[in-house]
């Protein structure tokens, strides 16, 4: 084997090693990405639960007190009644 072939072989081996490292790095990043997506989904679900709790709390406070909060509660009740009426209408058709 001459010097050219030897140098070429070393360069090919270097490329193969680099490729394997990049492939491993990609796998690690994909796993991390998957974990982060799962965490994001969990946090979005937590936010949704907290928003619902906040809305219920605001609704209850509105019923117990007066002013703007009471108006909000009455609007919420009206929205719920409308939704129930829509459901009843759909059931009757």
- DSSP-assigned letter for residue 65: S
Q: What is the pLDDT of residue 29?
A: 97
Higher pLDDT, 66 or 1: 1
62: buried, middle or exposed (CB in 10 Å: 19+, 13-18, 0-12)?
buried
Count of structural domains within the chain: 1
**pLDDT at res. 66:** 67
Q: Enter the tokens of residue 51.
A: 């928003």
Q: Please give the full DSSP string across 28-57, using - where no structure is assigned.
A: HHHHHHHHHHHHHHHHHHHHHHHHHHHHHH
Q: What is the pLDDT of residue 49?
A: 94
Give the pTM.
0.57
Q: What is the mean pLDDT of residues 68-91?
A: 84
Q: Which domain holds residue 8?
A: 3-92
Position 90 scores a pLDDT of 84
Give 20-74 pLDDT, tens digit per residue. 999 999 999 999 999 999 999 999 999 999 998 988 887 777 777 766 777 777 8
């Amino acid at each position: 084997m001459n010097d050219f072939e030897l140098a070429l072989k070393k360069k090919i081996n270097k490329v193969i090693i680099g490729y394997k490292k990049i492939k491993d790095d990609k796998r690690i990043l994909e796993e991390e990405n998957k974990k982060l997506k799962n965490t994001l989904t969990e946090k979005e679900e937590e936010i949704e639960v907290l928003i619902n709790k906040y809305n219920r709390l605001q609704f209850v406070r509105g019923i117990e007190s007066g002013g703007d909060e009471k108006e909000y509660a009455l609007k919420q009740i009206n929205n719920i009644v409308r939704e129930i009426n829509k459901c009843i209408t759909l059931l009757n058709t």
